[in-house]
Structure 1
Amino acid sequence: MYRSNLTRTALLLASLSLPSGVALAVPASPFLAMAGSWSGGGVLSTSDGQREELRCRAAYDVAGSGEQLRLNLRCASPSYNFDLASEVEYRGGAISGSWSEASRNASGTLSGRASGDHVEAAARGDSFSANLSLTTRGGRQTVSIQPQGANITAVSLTLNRR
């Protein structure tokens, strides 16, 4: 009995001496750093070797403690426009959701991983698929989109918080 109480007391003291939050450390959602309005530009590359400058605006609405994200991204160049909307959930490092692109009437699913300031995802649909990478550091965000089987072969963006 004495040994059991001593063990419990030692465990209690050991747990109280841990820095606060250590036992319950949960990675923060990367969506939190994205919240707000962003603008900037980049380059769109096509399969015939052409490159066009893009101008873009993005809005990220983050709900809860960062588990839900609603994205609206609009970009335009002299020859191309796209208007992307997405709703994504974050759960323990995994992301999943849906996307739609209004000007081409395309839609599909989105899945991938998020950690720290970086997101890697795959967008899949009936008429479009792409891999994307997004990194947010402070007031700067870089986005890389690699479509498959389309005239557009790459989109590279740099956005700044407005």
Structure 2
Amino acid sequence: MALQRVSRAAVDGKRPVSKTSQVSEFFAKARRLTFAAVAFFLTAFAASTSYAQSSAFAGMAGTWSGPGTVTLDDGSSERIRCRATYKVAGASMDMSLTCASDAYRFNLLAAVVAQGGEVTGNWSETSRNVGGNIQGRGANGSFQVIAQAAGFSSNISLKTTGNKQSIAMRADSQFRAANITLSK
């Protein structure tokens, strides 16, 4: 019987096929298919996590709060409590920062976009009814921007590391500076 299979295969130009070679070929194909599926899922997972972390605002979304100080033009300094909310959607972020002491309060709103390391957008301070534009640079949760309006300019530095964030503002008006430390 085995001789007939060999001779038929020789006439047809094919190798004789045994059951053991069919089984091992099946397992070899199954291993290659499994390897390809695992490689595909690992590649897809790596691509999705690098995309999620590639946003300039990665890790900033949510509500933050913490203490700070504000310095006024007369040199006086007050402790303040602050609360920030960041809504991140890809390269865009909306921010709300409210800080208050017994005698001082400010409400800062901003909408910014980050592209290629450049940050642009608009801001407003609602308790004083003033607003303008924001321009600067930043990525990976670290930003250096200038907020400007008619008769007002403020340098703002913001750095996010894990669940900690520091904000430093320096201005040329009655509000001279603020230093804020927030936690998530």
Same fold (TM over 0.5): yes
Letter of the structure 1 residue corresponding to residue 111 of structure 2:
E
Q: Does 1:44 align with 2:70?
A: yes
- How high is the sequence identity, in percent, across the aligned residues? 38
Higher RCO (CA < 8 A, seq sep 6+)? 1
Q: Does 1:76 align with 2:100?
A: yes
Greater per-residue helix proportion:
2
Unaligned residue ranges in structure 1 (runs of 5+): 1-19
CA contact (8 A) 1:106 1:127 kept: no
Q: Does 1:153 align with 2:179?
A: no
Give the deviation of 1:78 after TM superposition. Answer: 1.7
Structure with larger Rg: 2
Q: Does 1:53 align with 2:79?
A: yes
For 1:153 and 1:101, how far apart are their aligned partners in 2? 15
* Equivalent of 2:54 in 20, 28, 53: 28
Letter of the structure 2 residue corresponding to residue 44 of structure 1:
V
Letter of the structure 2 residue corresponding to residue 99 of structure 1:
W
User: Secondary structure at the residue paired with 1:31?
Assistant: coil
Q: How does 1:112-151 map to 2 (within 5 A)?
A: 112-148=136-172, 150-151=173-174
Give the deviation of 1:111 after TM superposition. Answer: 0.6
Per-residue CA distance 1:81-112 (angstroms, 9 max, x = gap): 11111000010100000001110000100010
For 1:124 and 1:160, how far apart are their aligned partners in 2? 27
With normalisation by structure 1, the TM-score equals 0.79
User: Secondary structure at the residue paired with 1:32?
Assistant: coil
Aligned twin of 2:134: 110
CA contact (8 A) 2:56 2:91 kept: no
CA contact (8 A) 1:41 1:55 kept: yes
With normalisation by structure 2, the TM-score equals 0.70
Q: How many residues align?
A: 137
Q: Does 1:96 align with 2:120?
A: yes
Instruction: Kindly report structure 1 stretches of 4+ aligned residues shifted beyond 3 Å.
Output: none
Q: Which moved more, 1:83-92 or 1:123-132?
A: 123-132
